[in-house]
A and B are shown apart, each in its own frame.
Chain A
Amino acid sequence: MTRQRLVLRWRHRLVEAEVVEASSSWRVRLGDRTISVSIRPLGPHVYAITVDGRRGIAHFAAEADAYHLHLDGNTYTISRGGLGAGGPGGPDPADVRAPMPGVVTRILVRTGQVVEAGEPLYVLEAMKMETVVRAPVRARVVEIRAERDSQVEGGATVVELEGLP
């Protein structure tokens, strides 16, 4: 019998799962609930599943540390907790990395400035659309790492924040 403990992350929600393999299925423990899962591959990325007696089709694809799951008409991107920027303690609430590659057209804050949640930090232009990146929480601007009109990669840190209580 194999037993595996893993942490999954969806947005800011961390879920600890213990996966125990039974004879032809798995028992997954999430908190105090145990869910029985059986899975049969039908083809690349497509699985016939039974979850607590309910049958369905799941579509699943894995990237470096993100999993994409389509189930019951919904698509979820779930990452491995404890990996990447999130760290074991969960995602960094002050993570305001560029959501996509683009050009920083305006920087709206200065180093040292205290910003409130929702306050605009910088404007990124990509695909001819302007996207305003805002502070997710009350924070102090620690560093500004990009210049106006510079090209940045998706995921690049443009403004570094330090969360404030």
Chain B
Amino acid sequence: MFRKVLVANRGEIAVRVLRACRELGIRTVAVYSEADEDSLHVWLADEAALIGPSEPERSYLHIGRILDAARATGAEAIHPGYGFLAENPEFAAACRDAGIAFIGPPPEVLEAVGDKARARRLGARLGIPVLPGTDHPVGDEEALPQAHRIGFPLLLKAAGGGGGRGMRVVRSPEELPQLLPDARREARAAFGTDAILLERYLERPRHIEIQVLLDRYGGAVHLAERECSIQRRHQKVMEEAPSVAVDPTLRGRLAEAALRMMREAGYVNAGTVEFLVDREGDFYFLEVNARLQVEHPVTELVTGVDLVHQQLRIAAGEALAIRQEAVTLRGWAIQARVYAEDPERDFAPSAGTVLHLQEPHLPGVRVDSGIRVGQRIPVHYDPLLSKVIAWAPDRPTAIARLRQALAAYVVLGPTTNLGFLLDVLGHPGFASGEVSTTFLADHFPDWRAREPSEEAFAVAAVLAGRAWTTGAPPQGFADPWDRLRGWRMG
């Protein structure tokens, strides 16, 4: 096993990986930008290296500076987390050239599966169903004829990455000239390339993905599915394992397709194969995520496998110790992503300082958080603050636990989506499992936060009176708190 690992990421995933390393007796190195000097991950690591200014291109995306930090600290391996450089073949190759282990698949594999068009061709060659679409990025002239060939509605997808960036649904030929440049611009900003693919858009599909683990000796297992249909603007908000829509037969077919694909690609380490599943239970290959997923905890809770430990062991050259027959699903797990964002302003990121924080402590509830009190939420990065994951013997109980946990979660300062998440969990359609990737758009097109009750205004009025005294009190204002202190003592 490695003696020292550098974590080339920030936020909750850096915290998660740092803790996993510590559990295995591995010393840790964090890297951070100037915007993250006070961030939680910096304080958790044995060593921390400042790698540059706030802009990602000059810090978390800067291969040279990260490798310098690894060399300077003597780290033997780098865990990239997700996002940033996690699926960047150039980074994986640079690690290899520097004699540092990259905790993820080899660069050639990253290149092959990370290119959506190539991954699609591979799937089609292996007989895995794919949606009608282009198997190469389209030029501006070619786009319209290709669109007519595929049919409407269709989806514009960035060839260079996921997370909903650069994605647009085109419902008619007239919309294409407007939406294609939009998608290109967003894709270029997010991934450095404006390559766009066209694909048939399925109405109300479920997003189902299979978690796999492969070692370098041909050992391979799957850890069943996650359902990630609750999405806004093509970005996942809530995930669960298992899925109400997957029976053992479908699970077997999906897992077989996923493992066939990953074996053929020469994949090593933890990875995910994403599918769309329609009403009839037919599935279509979507893409490969060649990294740890944001939603990995739900799989961990229902299978008992620690995915980060497995990543470290596989990268260190160990053979998989998990046999497929030993993988069983126990209970139900649901994850809610807590974002610093305003659901009422089209989910725009919100900034601010965490003034007060209280995380929920409940049976069966896990909180993977990247924040602490006093921390300024930087505007430069993904606005994910933390993830709350509830496990229970069955789905209704998992929902009830997650609702309790989110209601008890106090984050004062930045605007969060906690209220929105609570309303989604309370929706009868979610309870019945009747979900699809358009669930949020269908049921919460114009969500509004609950107005404070009169009681809440009354409490705020009394507490605000006290808060004034810490600033400039209005003229003639008597601090009721002085009396309160007297009252407490008396």
Contacts and interface: CB of A to CB of B under 8 A. Distances in A.
A22 to B, nearest CB: 10
B204 interface: no
B462 interface: yes
B345 A99 contact: yes
Contact of A75 (B186, B190, B419, B470): B419
Nearest to A36: B458
**Number of contact residues on B: which range applies?**
35 or more
Given A10-B451, A37-B458, A127 B382 contact: yes
**Among the interface residues A19, A47, A61, which one has the most CB atoms of the partner chain B within 10 A?**
A61
Contact of A99 (B348, B380, B456, B467): B348
A57 to B, nearest CB: 9
A102 B189 CA distance: 13
A80 interface: yes
Interface stretch (A27-35, A87-95, A107-115, A137-145): A27-35
B387 to A, nearest CB: 18
Contacts of A44: 356
A37 B419 contact: no
A8 B356 contact: no
Nearest to A130: B186
A80 B472 CA distance: 13
A49 B459 contact: yes
A62 B471 CA distance: 10
Interface string A39-83: 111001111010110100011111110011111111111101000
Contacts of B418: 75
Contact of B411 (A24, A26, A62, A75): A75
Nearest to B486: A24
A5 to B, nearest CB: 10
Contacts of A74: 419, 450, 452, 456
A76 B455 CA distance: 12
**Number of contact residues on A: which range applies?**
35 or more
Given A80-B464, A126-B349, A8 B457 contact: yes
Nearest to A60: B463
Contact of B408 (A8, A61, A73): A73
B342 A76 contact: no
B489 interface: no
Interface in B398-441: 406-408, 410-413, 415-416, 418-419, 422
Given A2-B480, A71-B456, A99 B465 contact: no
Given A2-B483, A60-B459, A78-B452, 8 more contacts: A2-B480, A23-B487, A37-B458, A39-B484, A59-B410, A62-B470, A74-B450, A128-B165
Contact of A52 (B342, B382, B455): B455
B412 A70 contact: yes
A6 to B, nearest CB: 6
B126 interface: no
Given A39-B484, A45-B355, A78 B478 contact: no
Contacts of A84: none
Given A2-B480, A37-B462, A62-B470, A75 B348 contact: no
A102 to B, nearest CB: 7
A44 B463 CA distance: 13
20 contacts: A2-B480, A4-B465, A8-B460, A8-B461, A10-B451, A30-B454, A39-B484, A41-B484, A47-B463, A54-B455, A62-B463, A71-B456, A76-B452, A76-B460, A99-B350, A100-B348, A101-B351, A101-B379, A127-B379, A154-B379
B451 A8 contact: no
Contact of B410 (A40, A70, A126): A70
Interface string B336-348: 0000001001111
A30 B412 contact: no
A30 B457 contact: yes
**Among the interface residues A30, A47, A58, A74, which one has the most CB atoms of the partner chain B within 10 A?**
A74
A159 to B, nearest CB: 16
Nearest to B488: A40
Given A100-B350, A130-B186, A2 B458 contact: no
B356 A61 contact: yes
A130 B383 CA distance: 14
Nearest to B383: A127
Interface string B158-181: 000000010000000000000000
9 tightest CB-CB pairs across the interface, nearest first? A73-B407, A62-B467, A61-B355, A68-B412, A28-B458, A17-B461, A45-B356, A35-B458, A61-B412
A15 B452 CA distance: 11
Contacts of B413: 61, 63, 68
